[in-house]
Structure 1
């Protein structure tokens, strides 16, 4: 709570240094651990992009079959997203996030038994069901610990797990596929699914013992620190307009659907990049799974710094719209240049710009809906936006795969991704700034 807000409510405001120390303590206790969870989640979600380099050839998958299977994850994700987040709101993040991670780890390991397009489709769908609720659950969880004006940086750091998973996961996936190929009669892609599923189960078990549902339950905070956070969260909610409180009302809220459209545009670029990065890099002339993994890490490394820079800047300036529009347009330019150049170096540099832009959009986007959603309606609202937006995770890889089958290149798909980012930027521009700048 700000000093002014506290005074207006007749409450003695805590000293600024104490408030900052409290939030710094909360940040370092929660955010790195949540980031670790998301690194594991994202790696298990998109490592199918690396598996494709061997699996598609061995099992005879076309680009369209791969794209459809990769995207089916998001159909299961969509169907169970809102129910999962409502359950999390009722039972608490500690139990539900642990359940989510352990379940998806077991299913991810089961991918080693995929032997046909049908089994591939089924497993991707089940993985989406298992993971549904994790990401919006964490977004909802941050609203319990951080007021709106501190949240953009928190979410940006949390979501830097996406490029971090690419930085470490891509070379790791490439190495596993090369080093373990043929061991005990299993292909490299089978070993990759098995080995990379183990951390999800282990971290899921750790979640149950490590996370606290709310500040009042946190024994690592003293009463004064708990009071600071609870007062700030209460003041933050008091400053918002009335939020929808029933799921039916959420589905009738036009502003939530508009937010879903914006997120759909940004997620299209995000998953177009992450699912097809190994294929795009290979098409640029890089050979060998490990080399492809190392080169694929470069755009993600660049994206980490861009995400954190824009997250800090958005919180410091308390401005949201232009901090979304600029990265979105930069991402569009990056995709367009990567699609049009014949130079490997220029293509990788352009992909770095695209990655920095598109991956920055996702965390900063959530400062928009969480600026006007509060209370029980936030659980359903955030989940609905995320589930509808993530349908782009189904459409994006499928469309790119179909375009690649029909044209023989990824250029048309990347132009399509650029166009979607421009649409997202325009939608953010027409969003009234008084609604989202908090």
Structure 2
């Protein structure tokens, strides 16, 4: 009876929450990386060099870094419904304001403000999922949520390309139309969040009384089981060495992710393709990554193993970057970028399953935000390094090799954390 009740409850929760939060992340990721397509024409219109564009693309993560932890603490206190709505509405308004960028300094300022506005969304959703899904479901659910990022590239690439084709309509450049049109859904969905999201299982009127009672009991039991082993205070989330190690691992994966999101359109276009062709080809690698990520996460959940699922995925992504740096044709570069997409996407769900295994309560809110804020600085370093190196060498190769090295470092740190966990008797908390 309990098993059938569990299956019915988790199916109901998954169908209620996962598609909606996937849609939110889909919009978030489009607004975060659509400058990669805007750059195909905006850089020339505004006179941006590769270094200026790379720095502006990456400065987003400074705002993100500064406001991430405070934002997640507030979410834990006021609830996801109110805070996620606030996050989405403000980032939507700022994203639309990119249509009125006049030069490099307004570009830098808006990217910083966009990062500050969006801070707390991703780790807030990771924390939110930990309220609703027992640990044995978490990597699989996170993989479905995170599939929205590659899906946004698959669907967003041709849409962005088409919007760039509106150049001259009502006196606006195509990239201005792209920012305005793609910002609107964030504001609309931010309002929808206020009426659709439910903060905790206790308030879920859309569950039957029996289902709600089972889920509340299950989640309370999981929290109680962690009372002796897990850390709960805000300082515990900030000071735990495992949090800092996971942040370093995430740094490399973020450098790879935003190298793809921001530079892949220009890397593909360098082979002489049209903007529309770039839009469609840019969607091929993330399409493959979606399938790989979900299957890899399910395997991680089924086996209970996390370490090697992160390590292997990081090494695959690193290999793909090295191959992309030496690619001699559009077909070769798409194949290489497919490996990068698969590796980076597959690494993230098992990585994000780790922190809530040894942190709970305020410590989980702070720990997840700390991992995400520090780790996402890789989203500045990767794109900035590629732009800086390209300006000096005329090629993407050196920057791609640099980011590949960061992913190898992520793999090495993951192994060190696992070994330290076994030696300290905490392997179950981190490595498995």
Aligned to 2:411: 425
Q: 1:305 aligns with which of 291, 300, 311?
A: 291
Task: Note if contact 1:243-1:378 (Cα within 8 Å) is conserved in structure 2.
Answer: no
Give the drift of 1:375: 1.6
Q: 1:341 aligns with which of 307, 324, 327?
A: 327
Residue 106 of structure 1 pairs with residue 93 of structure 2: yes
Aligned to 1:71: 58
Q: TM-score, normalised by structure 1?
A: 0.94
Aligned to 2:266: 279
Quote the RMSD (CA, aligned, Å): 1.3
Give the drift of 1:289: 1.5
- Note the 1:24-423 alignment, pairs <5 A: 24-178=11-165, 180-240=166-226, 242-283=229-270, 285-423=271-409
Give the drift of 1:243: 4.0
CA offsets 1:264-298 (integer angstroms, 9 cap, x no match):
11111111111111011112x14222111100000
CA offsets 1:153-190 (integer angstroms, 9 cap, x no match):
00000000010000000110011101x11111100000
Aligned pair count reads: 423
Task: Note if contact 1:286-1:292 (Cα within 8 Å) is conserved in structure 2.
Answer: no
Q: TM-score, normalised by structure 2?
A: 0.95
Give the drift of 1:146: 0.5
How far apart, in 2, do the equivalents of 1:428 and 1:112 lie? 41
How far apart, in 2, do the equivalents of 1:56 and 1:311 lie? 38
Give the drift of 1:242: 4.1
CA offsets 1:332-373 (integer angstroms, 9 cap, x no match):
111111111212212111111111111221222101112111
How far apart, in 2, do the equivalents of 1:249 and 1:333 lie? 36
Structure 1: gaps spanning 5 or more residues: 1-13
Task: Note if contact 1:59-1:115 (Cα within 8 Å) is conserved in structure 2.
Answer: yes
Task: Note if contact 1:243-1:375 (Cα within 8 Å) is conserved in structure 2.
Answer: no
How far apart, in 2, do the equivalents of 1:36 and 1:182 lie? 31
Task: Note if contact 1:46-1:274 (Cα within 8 Å) is conserved in structure 2.
Answer: yes
How far apart, in 2, do the equivalents of 1:130 and 1:341 lie? 37
Give the drift of 1:420: 1.1
Task: Note if contact 2:237-2:359 (Cα within 8 Å) is conserved in structure 1.
Answer: no
Q: 1:183 to 1:381 in 2, by over 3 A?
A: same
CA offsets 1:310-351 (integer angstroms, 9 cap, x no match):
111111111111111111111111111111121221211111
Give the drift of 1:436: 2.6
Aligned to 1:9: none
CA offsets 1:236-274 (integer angstroms, 9 cap, x no match):
223335444443443322221111111111111111111
How far apart, in 2, do the equivalents of 1:286 and 1:229 lie? 55
CA offsets 1:365-420 (integer angstroms, 9 cap, x no match):
10111211112211111111110001111111111100111111111111112111
How far apart, in 1, do the equivalents of 2:258 and 2:76 lie? 27
Aligned to 1:5: none
Which has the higher mean CA deviation after the structures are superposed, 325-334 or 84-93? Answer: 325-334
How far apart, in 2, do the equivalents of 1:226 and 1:119 lie? 49
